Structure 1
Amino acid sequence: MFKIFSTKRKVNARQFKQRDIPEQLYTKCSSCQEMIYYADLESNHQVCPSCHHHFPLSVTQRIFSLVDEGSFREFNRLMKTKNPLNFPGYEEKLDKAMKNADLKEAVVTGYGDVHGKRCVICIMDSHFMMGSMGGVVGEKITQAVEKSMKHRLPLLIFCASGGARMQEGIVSLMQMAKVSAAIKKHSKAGLLYVSILTHPTTGGVTASFAMEGDIILAEPGALIGFAGPRVIEQTMRQELPEGFQSAEFLQDHGFVDRVVPRGQLRRTLHKILKIHGGPYHG
């Protein structure tokens, strides 16, 4: 059962700057500005104990919190982006992103079990160039969809993206159509696709496969939309409703089926897979 762990080790954030705090001891919540003891954050699924803000998860953290221990098997691990348009400085930016995120690209794909239920899983990571979608991201997700069809397995995609990658131009934009075409074939094959929207899910990812799931879940407080709220306000020249583009707002307006706290996500997915995902494997 999901718990919000209480802690007596709160510190008034106004007294400190982040650089004053020893690494791995305390961290500041970007939502409520409280200082959180790092061990409490780790034990609470990277959720703030004070305001329940969901911190971004790395791929490793997501796998650890979701799949049965030792069951995840990555594929296409070595697939790596090149510079199709010879965009200035793109190789250097990719190298920096790979070092910072310890990933080859902004998505990891593989097989994994959720309470014994075998799935194909795609996990986007916002730590790699804000999870932006380029040619390799689209290709890895497309191949994951095809493996799901080949082995008749449910498909889970954890979306986290700042949109299409401008350094790849039309190569990036065409991934919207390519992945969507694969998702359509997946649907015609009668297979389950669950889309899980995390913070942020924006741009071309939102305009394509993120919103094409048979069931669409979202983490609390996630920003979900095509253009950002400031861009929309400046374009429309009017004030947007409170909470516009939040996961809760989209659920209220029928774009998201359910907002699920991170600690309940594994159990919720297990129920969905048990009902809709076909026979158990393994």
Structure 2
Amino acid sequence: MEQSSLLTLFLPIALGIIMLGLGLNLKVADFTRVVKYPKAVFIGLFCQMILLPIICFGICLSFKLPAELAVGLMLLSASPGGPTANLFSHLAKGDVALNISLTALNSILTLVSLPFIVNFAMGYFMESEQVIPMQFKKILEVFAIVLIPVAIGMFINYLNPNISKRLEKPVKILSAIFLVVIIVGAIVKERAQFMESFQQVGLACLLFNVLSMGVGYYLPSAFNVNRKQSIAIGMEIGIHNGTLAIYIALSVLGNSVMSIPPAVYSIIMFFIAAIFGYLVNRKKVDE
């Protein structure tokens, strides 16, 4: 299906703004917090890098998703947590500092793990002649679009934290607007088959979101990670960077159908995150 050049042009700009917003909240200390909270960070990364793709793969098989939708959902599972996770973690009284650290580390690590997971998914779910390798040049483009804006945001924060704080709110609002526009754009792009695809992948996305947040909260709790950090990990691995997943589906893989699961998931995750935040805060604070 012919791609919308406007959406393809808009995506890297939107992703850059969103990652800039993340950078405005980051300091070098956020990357070194792994030393302070090694257990919480390790469990969070283990959930994100290992458990989520395995859970997602099982869901794709259980629901017998069509190949392109299965790859799209696997692509989402390999994407790092989104900046929105920080906001929801704050509202749910989670450890936002841990969220920021996990988002920063995940954003770097997934530049290596994401191509591996996506190529595995394409090789498994699609005919061998249909496999579209993620070209090294395209991976470098993703690397640049993700890390350069983050570095700029961090540099602004380092030079003048007051400017960074003033920019934080408008950039967050702009990021939210961009996310909505991207989701709508991805849906409009495949409007002819969106409802059919939603019926096929909607329940799978819902189950994946619920399981992600559940595993992200209860697994750390089982290893005596405190409540605030468990909430942060649950939000981090339950709220994905859908913009990045949609960008890779459209601009790197050149397949608009693969962008549908990230778009559907990005709608569902806001409601599930709100319910999750409410439920975990009904429990008595143990700190």
What TM-score range do you get, normalising by the shorter chain? under 0.3
Please identify the structure whose Cα radius of gyration is greater.
1
State the TM-score, normalizing by the size of structure 1.
Answer: 0.27
* Greater share of residues in helix: 2
Flag the structure with more relative contact order, 1 or 2, with Cα contacts below 8 A and sequence separation at least 6: 2
* Greater share of residues in strand: 1
